[in-house]
Amino acid sequence: MELNDTRLLNTHTYKMLQLQNLNAEDNFSVEPLFFRIYLESDKEKLESLLIQKPFIKIHDEISTQLDDLIKSKHPKRKPEPAELEILKAKHIGNLSMQDYGVWVYYPWSDRLVHILDEEEYIEVRTNRNIYKITREERDLLGKQKIGVVGLSVGQSISITMAMERSFGEIRLADFDVLELTNINRIRTGVHNLGVPKVTIVAREIKEIDPYLKVTCFYDGLTEENMHRYFTEGGNLDIVVDECDSLDIKIQLRGLAKPLGIPVVMDTSDRGTLDVERFDLEPERPILHGLIDHLDYSQVKHLKTNEEKVPFLLAMIGIDTVSTRLKASMIEVGQTITTWPQLASAVTLGGALGADVCRRISLGQYHESGRYWIDMADLIKDKEPKLDNEYAVKDYDAKELTLPEMERATNIVINETIDLSNDQIKELVSLAVLAPSSGNNQPWKWFANKGKLFLFHDEKHSVSWGDFDNITSNISFGATIETLKIAAIKMGFAVEPIYFPNKENRRLIAAFNFIEASSAVYASDLSSAIGFRTTNRKAGTGKKIDEKVTASLKEIVKLGDSESNIDIIENKDQIIKIADIVSKVERIRFLYPQGHHDFYTKEIRWNDVDVNQTKDGLDIKSLELSESDKTGLIVASEPGVIKLLNKWGGGAAFEKLSNKAIISSSGIGLITMPNYDQESFIKGGEAVQRVWLKANIQGLTFHPISAPLFLFARLNHGNSEELTEPMMVELTELQRSLKEIFPVLDERQGIFMFRLSYADDASVRSVRRSLDETLIFN
C-alpha cells in the first residue's frame, strides 16, 4: 500500500469513528437567547458566545424589517428609497443599525438572527392581518392561553395560530417523538427524527415569533399533570384536543367542563370539527352526549381494544366518516398498522381549528356542535363517472298464492290419515323450529282438508347464495325431519312424497300420516327440537368421546338413509379447514352480490329488527368481538367493498370465524351419493338428526358449509356469477378440502359443521308466526 493510500484509509476510519461517536443532541432546548447589544452586559454576552461558537450562522435583515415598519407607518404614500433611508435613520436615533433591535440566538440550529424588538416586531409581522384582525383584536388574542394536546393535527393548528398570533401563551402536550411515518403529515424535516414532537412545534413557533410564550409538557397530558396544565399560570381559555388516547379525551373534558373551558377537536377526515362550549353551556354533556349511554367513568381502566371499541364507535360516529377511512379501518392490522391521515386533511384541520379558536376568543362564535367541511363533497364532478364495480340486483320471486297451492295439491293423490287443524298446528309449530340458511325460513305449509303439504316460498330465500336451491332444499330436509320426529309423539309415522307435482316444483312434499309401528322413529330426538340451536362461540377443544362420535355416525344412517358422515378431530386438519372456510367467507363478503345479500337479507342489527322481521341472523348470534362487530358495520357500505377489491384487501373478513373453528373439537361433513334436489333434501334430514343428537349430548353445533355451496356453483353452474380470480381461488380451496375429506371425490358434499364444547349461545333465532307460515284452505 502506498503512503497516500494509507493516509486516505486513516482519514476514512477517523470519519467513520466520528459518526459512531456523535455527541447527543439537546432535544429539549426550545428557548432562544435574546441580546440587546445596546446594553453593555448583553453585548459582552453575545461577544462571548461568538468566541465559543465561531461557526454560528448570522442572519441580519434588520434593514428590510425597518423598511416594512416605516412603510406601515406611512400607508398613504410610498417613500422613495432615499427618503426611506432618511426615515429609518431618524427612527433608530443615536443607535447604529447593528445595535438596534434584538439579536436572537437559536441554540438548536446555531443561528443568530437580527430582528425588531417585541412591539415593533408584532406590528410588522401582523400588519398584513389588518383588518381581518384589527389591532385591538390582535392585542386581545395576544392575551389568550391556548392548550393543544396531541401534535399531528395539533402541530398544524398550533403553527397556524402562531402565524396569526392568536395567542400569547400556548401549552403543548405530547409524549411522543417524531418517527419517519409521521412526516407524511407533520411539516418538518428528517433532521428531527427522534426529537420530541413538543420540541419540534415549540421551536417552529419560536422561529416564527420568539416573543410568544410556549410551555412544554413532554409527558403528554396525564391524569397527574392535567390540573397543572389547565390552571398553572392562569386557566386556559381554549383547549384543542388532538390526542389519540380515549381516556385522556374524556378526562380532559371532565376537567374543562367545570372550569368552563371550551374544547375544539379536528378529526382530519371529511373536515370534521367538534366544538364544545363548556364556557357558555356548563351543563352540556361531553362529546355532544354521544357516549352518555356508556359508563365513561371507568374508561381509564380499559385495557383492550375490545373494551375501547364501543367508546370509539360512538365518539367518531361511524356513519359519517369517509368511505376511504372506513375501508382503511378494515385493513388496520392486515396490510397497514394504523389508520391513515393525509397532510392535506391535517392542514385543513389546522386551518379550521385555528379559525374557530380565534373566533371563540374574539366572541364572534358562540355555538357547539359537530361540523363537516368535506372537500370531496364540496368540490367534485357534477356528473360522477359511473362504474360496474358494485353491480348487484335484488332477487325476487313470484308470489306464492293460495290459488297456486290449491291447484298444485288438488292433483296429488296421497293416502293419509286426515289430521285435525289442532294436530296440524301442533306439528307445524315444531317443524318450523328447524334450521334454515341465514334463518330465512323458506317454507310455506299448506293444509288442505286434513292433508299437509310443504311449499317453497321463494321470496324468503331467492338470492345469490341459494344457488340451485341447495340451501333451501337442505332447510326443507331439516323441517321435514323435524315433522317426522314430532309426529311420533302424536302416534303417527310420516312418509314424505318428494316433488309430487312435476308441473310445480315449488311443491316440495306431500305427507302420508300413518299409525306408528312399535319401532318408534328417533323418539330420543324429540326432546331436543325445542332447544336445538346454532352456537358460534369458541369451544374448549375438549376431545369428543368415542361413544358420542359413534352415536352421530349411527343416527345419520337412520331409516336406511344414503347419507354418510365423516368427522375430523385432528387439530392440524381442523386448522386447515378453518383456513379454507375463512377464505371462502372473505370471497363471499368481497363479491358485491354476496355482500349485498348479507346486508340486505340476512343480518339484523338490533332487537327491533329481529322482532319485526322474525327472520335473519341476529348480530348477537354471530358471537363477534366488539372490534369484529365494528368491522362488519364499517364494511356495510358498498363503496368500502369497491375499495377493498381495488386494493386487494379484505383479509380481515377471514377473522370472523377462524378462531372459533380452530377451537372446535371436531369438524363434521355429511355427504350423499348424488347431486340432485332430492339428495339435498334427504341430506338435510340427516343434518337435523345429527344436530339434535349432538345438542342432546352436550355438543354445540355451528354450520360452516359456505365452501360446499360455492364449490357447487363452481362445479355445476358453469361458474355462474363467479369472477375469474374467484374461480381460481375456489378451485384451489376445493382441492385443499378434498385432501382432508377424500370422500368428496366420490360423493356430494351436503353440509359441513363444527362440533364443540362451549358456553351457551348468546341468543336463539326467532321464527315467523304460525299464521305466516301455515295456511289452511
Q: What is the pLDDT of residues 362-412, one digit of tens each?
A: 999 999 999 999 999 999 999 888 888 999 999 999 999 999 999 999 887
H or E element, residue 197:
helix 197-208
* Chain mean pLDDT for the chain: 93
- Write the CA distances from 145 to 276, 499, 561, 647, 776, integer angstroms: 17, 81, 82, 45, 78
DSSP category for residue 748: E
Q: Residue 275: is its pLDDT beyond 80?
A: yes
Sequence letter at residue 567? I
pLDDT at 22: 54
What's the whole-number mean pLDDT along residues 171-193?
A: 95
* 720 pLDDT tier (thresholds 50, 70, 90): confident
Residue 105 pairs in a beta bridge with 33, 112
Cβ neighbours of residue 443 under 8 Å, at least 6 residues apart? 432, 436, 454, 455, 456, 457, 475, 476, 479, 508, 773
Q: Identify the residue with better confidence: 703 or 449.
A: 703
pLDDT at 1: 41
pLDDT at 24: 64
Cβ neighbours of residue 299 under 8 Å, at least 6 residues apart? 246, 247, 250, 308, 311
* 3 pLDDT tier (thresholds 50, 70, 90): very low
What's the whole-number mean pLDDT along residues 576-599?
A: 97
Cβ neighbours of residue 649 under 8 Å, at least 6 residues apart? 327, 330, 331, 334, 335, 643
CB–CB of 467/404 below 8 Å?
A: no
Quick one: 404 exposed, middle or buried, by C-beta within 10 A (0-12, 13-18, 19+)? middle
Dist. CA 569–CA 565, nearest whole Å: 13
- The three grid cell numbers given for residue 225, joined into one nine-digit string: 399533570
What's the whole-number mean pLDDT along residues 258-263?
A: 98
Dist. CA 599–CA 394, nearest whole Å: 12
CB–CB of 616/463 below 8 Å?
A: no
Sequence letter at residue 541? G
- The three grid cell numbers given for residue 609, joined into one nine-digit string: 329488527
Q: pLDDT for 617-644, tens place per residue? A: 999 999 998 888 889 999 999 999 999 9
Task: Tell me which residue has cell 364507535.
Answer: 313
Q: pLDDT for 202-246, tens place per residue? A: 999 999 999 999 999 999 999 999 999 999 999 999 999 999 988
The bridge status of strand 33-35 relative to strand 111-115 is unpaired
Quick one: 560 exposed, middle or buried, by C-beta within 10 A (0-12, 13-18, 19+)? exposed
Cβ neighbours of residue 4 under 8 Å, at least 6 residues apart? none
The bridge status of strand 57-60 relative to strand 369-372 is unpaired
Quick one: 52 exposed, middle or buried, by C-beta within 10 A (0-12, 13-18, 19+)? exposed
pLDDT at 555: 96
- The three grid cell numbers given for residue 465, joined into one nine-digit string: 347464495
- Write the CA distances from 456 to 110, 412, 476, 512, 732, integer angstroms: 84, 16, 8, 19, 34
pLDDT at 7: 52
pLDDT at 661: 97
pLDDT at 592: 96
What's the whole-number mean pLDDT along residues 160-184?
A: 97
CB–CB of 440/569 below 8 Å?
A: no
CB–CB of 563/682 below 8 Å?
A: yes
pLDDT at 311: 81
* 77 pLDDT tier (thresholds 50, 70, 90): confident
Closest CA to 65 of 83, 40, 91, 47: 91
What's the whole-number mean pLDDT along residues 163-180?
A: 97
Angle at alpha carbon of residue 26, lines to 25 and 29, rounded to 5°? 150
Closest CA to 578 of 538, 520, 626, 638: 538
- Write the CA distances from 230 to 148, 198, 236, 314, 569, integer angstroms: 11, 17, 6, 26, 61
User: Residue 559: left if φ>0, alpha if ψ -120 to 50, beta else—which one?
Assistant: left
| Least confident window among 264-278, 382-396, 686-700 | 382-396
Residue 672 pairs in a beta bridge with 748
DSSP string, 531-557: T-----S----PPPPHHHHHHHHHHHT
Q: In what order do the strands lie in the sheet with 102-106?
A: 33-35, 102-106, 111-115, 57-60
Encode 529-556: b = buried (16+ Cβ within 10 Å), e = exposed: beebbbbbbbbeeeebeeebbebbeebb
pLDDT at 17: 54
Compute, in degrees rounded to 10, the torsion defined by CA atoms 742, 682, 539, 736: 20
pLDDT at 423: 95
Dist. CA 380–CA 377, nearest whole Å: 6
Give the orientation angle of helix 470-489 with respect to helix 706-716, to 10 degrees. 130
Cis ω for the linkage preceding 131 (within 30 of 0): yes
Q: In percent, how much of the chain has pLDDT > 70?
A: 96
Closest CA to 596 of 440, 441, 391, 437: 391
Dist. CA 427–CA 481, nearest whole Å: 11
Angle at alpha carbon of residue 665, lines to 664 and 668, rounded to 5°? 85
DSSP category for residue 192: G
CB–CB of 690/684 below 8 Å?
A: no
Dist. CA 663–CA 658, nearest whole Å: 9
Dist. CA 672–CA 653, nearest whole Å: 30
Q: Residue 647: is its pLDDT beyond 70?
A: yes
Quick one: 701 exposed, middle or buried, by C-beta within 10 A (0-12, 13-18, 19+)? buried
Range list of H helices, 601-723: 607-613, 626-634, 638-647, 655-662, 677-696, 706-716
- The three grid cell numbers given for residue 305, joined into one nine-digit string: 381494544
Q: In percent, how much of the chain has pLDDT > 90?
A: 84
Cβ neighbours of residue 384 under 8 Å, at least 6 residues apart? none
Angle at alpha carbon of residue 729, lines to 723 and 730, rounded to 5°? 85
* 8 pLDDT tier (thresholds 50, 70, 90): very low
Return the number of other C-beta atoms located less than 10 Å from residue 289's C-beta.
10
- Write the CA distances from 227 to 120, 139, 223, 236, 530, integer angstroms: 35, 27, 8, 11, 59
Q: Identify the residue with better confidence: 385 or 266.
A: 266
At 673, is the secondary structure helix, strand, or coil?
Answer: coil
pLDDT at 13: 59
CB–CB of 646/389 below 8 Å?
A: yes
Query: Residue 423 phi/psi, 5° resolution?
Result: -65, -40
Q: pLDDT for 13-32, tens place per residue? A: 555 555 565 556 789 999 99
Q: Residue 2: is its pLDDT beyond 80?
A: no
